[in-house]
């Protein structure tokens, strides 16, 4: 399924298994409120959104999410056009991260995001130096996620409530410059034969652990 078929602006009442059809005739008048999209109410809403946001305009959903985003950020090095970046953005939306930061190449593979980047703030930094300057100005510690020597298992590590979780590329992991910029290094305990797990899977685990501690 590509991005276009994953979510369309209006949806289709006949598309099976996804979303809802038009607001039921005769059940009640259309709901009042500027957050509702008349076109979605008329033809149905097949977007991949939770029921709370059915029939809402995209801008209204983003505005509502902005009122209760979590105070952690997610950053990803993008030197190799890693296909995992889109999936990490999707997880950042699911766990309601404040912002996703792309470091390096401006263009990134959006396929894995499944259109969730429309609801998630995403900003770009030219390089690690520019990114680090931003974190220092904001007073946010960088928590590097990589299975390097000295990394502390995340279930035993200090994980600040306000922080940036920094992830690297599939395979090489984080660059030496990024590791040096971090205030701490954490990893995920593994029990099998593989040296590492998929970058997007690792990001989801770390974000869940943050939410387990703070989301309440």
Q: What is the pLDDT of residues 27-39, one digit of tens each?
A: 678 999 999 999 9
Within 40-158, strands assigned E span 72-78, 100-104, 122-125, 142-145, 152-153
**Residue 3's pLDDT is what?**
41
**Residue 2's pLDDT is what?**
41
Q: What is the pLDDT of residues 174-202, one digit of tens each?
A: 999 999 999 999 999 999 998 888 999 99
**Residue 13's pLDDT is what?**
42
In this structure, how many other beta carbons lie within 10 angstroms of the beta carbon of residue 47?
24
Q: What is the pLDDT of residues 118-146, one digit of tens each?
A: 999 999 999 999 999 999 999 999 999 99
CATH-assigned architecture of domain 72-214: 3-Layer(aba) Sandwich (3.40)
Q: What is the pLDDT of residues 69-87, one digit of tens each?
A: 999 999 999 987 668 899 9
Quick one: tokens of 14? 């006949």
pLDDT of 160 over the 50 cut: yes
Domain residue ranges in the chain: 1-56, 72-214
Q: Distances from the Cα of 29 to the Cαs of 24, 45, 138, in angstroms?
A: 9, 17, 47
* pTM of the predicted model as reported, rounded to 2 decimal places: 0.89
Place of tokens 């390097």: 148
Under 8 Å between Cβ of 13 and 121: no
* φ/ψ of residue 201, rounded to 5: -65, -40
């Amino acid at each position: 399924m590509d991005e276009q078929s994953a979510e369309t602006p209006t949806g289709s009442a006949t598309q099976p298994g996804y979303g809802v059809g038009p607001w039921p005739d005769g059940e009640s008048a259309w709901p009042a409120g500027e957050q509702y999209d008349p076109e979605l109410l008329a033809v149905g809403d097949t977007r991949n959104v939770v029921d709370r946001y059915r029939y809402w305009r995209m801008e209204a959903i983003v505005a509502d999410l902005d009122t209760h985003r979590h105070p952690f950020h997610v950053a990803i090095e993008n030197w190799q056009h890693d296909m995992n970046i889109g999936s990490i953005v999707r997880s950042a939306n699911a766990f309601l991260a404040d912002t996703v930061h792309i470091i390096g190449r401006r263009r990134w593979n959006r396929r894995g995001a499944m259109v969730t980047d429309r609801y998630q703030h995403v900003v770009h930094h030219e390089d690690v130096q520019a990114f680090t300057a931003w974190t220092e100005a904001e007073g946010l510690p960088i928590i590097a996620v990589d299975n390097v020597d000295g990394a502390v298992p995340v279930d035993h590590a200090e994980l600040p409530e306000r922080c940036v979780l920094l992830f690297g590329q599939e395979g090489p992991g984080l660059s030496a410059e990024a590791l040096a910029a971090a205030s701490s290094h954490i990893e995920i305990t593994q029990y099998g034969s593989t040296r590492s797990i998929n970058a997007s899977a690792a990001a989801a685990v770390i974000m869940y652990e943050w939410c387990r501690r703070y989301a309440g």
